[in-house]
A and B are shown apart, each in its own frame.
Chain A
Amino acid sequence: MIQFKNVDKRYPNGYEALKNINLTIDQGEFVAIIGLSGAGKSTLIRTINRMHDITKGELTVDGTDVMSLHGKSLRKFRRKIGMIFQSFNLITRTTVIKNVLTAFVPDLPWWRATFGIFNKEEKMKALEALDKMGILDKAFVRADQLSGGQQQRVALARTLAQNPQIILADEPVASLDPVTAKQVMDDFQRINREMNITVLINIHHVELALQYATRVIGIRAGEIVYDGPADQVDQSVLDAIYQGKQEEAV
């Protein structure tokens, strides 16, 4: 369970990215966060695994106060939260399986991490994660030879190998074509349903958000202006979120 209580986020330059956020997300929810660019979607997602710090209020994940974590405890905490990025963030010059294997690195003893020695169990887990994403046959291909959709699946497999409870996805389909985007969203849905993993997605495409998410959170200028089921989002709600600029936003 992720809980925001009166959370504020102010950047060092004085810009207020989040204002008084109150939010409770239960295990197994599929949440889409929509809003204009710069509204604070990305900041909101990144505060959860503390890629960004919050400046006021309280943020807890499964009862852990995120702001109390440091160094080792923070890294341990991040192990159970997977993260997916718009630009896939793979090491393109190595093979797919090596990318997936990095998911195990933080748990390895230092000498195995240094020399890159993975045991059979870890390799099999990585292969299984790739199989779940339907790209087992690409396991030993270099990542830069894959298409964008395939690369995002590798990123998903890497996250799955981490065995997370929560997956945060920052614009995961923004650099993919519409058909591939749908396939990747299908993958997210499957992961959410079959493994009961909480999925939080930042997304520009309102249509995709409404189609896949069970809950939609609309953000405008750092404030939550809508929070409710996806099927209750109508034109007036979208107007409120996008200030009538929806055409440009989509």
Chain B
Amino acid sequence: MSLFDKIFPPKVITLPNGKQIKKPRSRAPLAAVILLAMTAISVEVTGFDMGVLVQRINQFFVILGDMIPPDWSYMPQIWQPLFDTIKMSLLGSFIGSILVVPFAMLASTNIIHSRVVVAAMRLLLSIIRTLPTLVSALIATYIFGLGTLAGTTAIAIFTFAYIGKILYEEIETVDMGPFEAMEAMGATKVRAFISSIVPQVLPSYLSNCLFCFEGNVRYASILGYVGAGGLGLILNEKIGWREYASVGMILLALFVTVFIIETISRAARKRLV
């Protein structure tokens, strides 16, 4: 019996033939009250105003209108940062997803039996995951200087945290039989892991890495804003100069790139799973 049922005890219904049944109170009213309260508070705090939105929404399309048609002559200058963005996300995703493997192993209850180690690893992964990518990118620019190295680092950290959680959940659901058999034959934990767990986890791991990479390409375009290289750098610059036709071109290039990468990656993921 949950706390909710203790506070709002179930209603007893009696049928004409004397049989009784307990009807648990619906959670819907409570959920509705909480949602309404949160909405009311949010509207108050953020100053949400439908009137302003309706009246001035056309302003939203002013910049959008300036982006169309995009400035095609700007394209030659986009290639370099575009490739930088792809390179950053590719390398960052690769480094992050490789580095996380031992940590994910340490965070799986079926591999490591020490609860302390598992809990510590999971806390570490959670904290890194909650660290905004923007913050890690900023810190990286302070340490490594402006440029793509900082962006690559930020993406690697994000990938590390994202893949880490998925990977240890994945490892925990595998069939442990082969692992035990390997250990019984005298293999070390690492070797048993490689030959019994890896084949089970590998396809979905690779698929998740590809998925993460897809997202990273998109995310990498923001990082330039804090000086971490790639498309964001010129995007920031062009917005600053109000050259919206160039901004439109950058976004179009990004869109096409993301579309191509997603198509390839989706096809690859279909083969994997």
Residues of A at under 8 Å CB distance from B? 123-124, 127-128, 131, 136-137, 139-140
Contacts and interface: CB of A to CB of B under 8 A. Distances in A.
7 contacts: A123-B13, A124-B15, A127-B13, A127-B15, A128-B17, A131-B19, A136-B19
B271 interface: no
Nearest to B10: A140
Interface in B1-47: 13, 15-17, 19, 21-24
B23 A140 contact: yes
B16 A128 contact: yes
Contacts of B13: 123-124, 127
A100 B19 CA distance: 18
Contact of A131 (B17, B22, B23, B24): B17
Most buried by B among A128, A137, A139, A140: A140
Interface residues of B, number: 9
Contacts, number: 23
Q: Which 5 A-B pairs have the closest CB atoms?
A: A139-B21, A140-B24, A140-B23, A136-B21, A127-B15
A139 B16 CA distance: 16
Contacts of A123: 13
Contacts of A137: 21
Contacts of A136: 15, 19, 21
B250 to A, nearest CB: 44
A128 B15 contact: yes
A137 B15 CA distance: 12
B239 to A, nearest CB: 45
B85 to A, nearest CB: 42
Contacts of A139: 21, 23
Given A131-B19, A139-B23, A140-B21, 6 more contacts: A124-B15, A127-B13, A131-B17, A136-B19, A136-B21, A140-B23
A113 B13 CA distance: 23
Contacts of A140: 21-24
B21 A124 contact: no
A158 B164 CA distance: 47
B32 to A, nearest CB: 13
B81 to A, nearest CB: 47
A15 B187 CA distance: 63
Contacts of B16: 124, 128
Interface string B177-196: 00000000000000000000
Contacts of B17: 128, 131
B70 to A, nearest CB: 45
Contacts of A127: 13, 15, 21
A124 B16 CA distance: 9
Interface string B233-264: 00000000000000000000000000000000
A124 B15 CA distance: 7
Nearest to B24: A140
A127 B23 CA distance: 11
A136 B17 CA distance: 12
Contacts of B22: 140
B113 to A, nearest CB: 33
A127 B24 CA distance: 14
Nearest to A124: B15
B13 to A, nearest CB: 7
Nearest to A137: B21
A197 B15 CA distance: 24
Nearest to A123: B13
Nearest to A120: B13
Contacts of B23: 139-140
Contacts of A131: 15, 17, 19
A101 to B, nearest CB: 13
A137 B24 CA distance: 12
A116 to B, nearest CB: 10
A93 to B, nearest CB: 14
A123 B13 CA distance: 10
A72 to B, nearest CB: 32
A131 B22 CA distance: 14
A124 B17 CA distance: 11
B89 to A, nearest CB: 38
Interface string B159-172: 00000000000000
Contacts of A124: 13, 15-16
B26 to A, nearest CB: 10
B29 to A, nearest CB: 14
Contacts of B21: 127, 136-137, 139-140
A127 B21 CA distance: 9
B118 to A, nearest CB: 31
A123 B21 CA distance: 12
B189 to A, nearest CB: 39
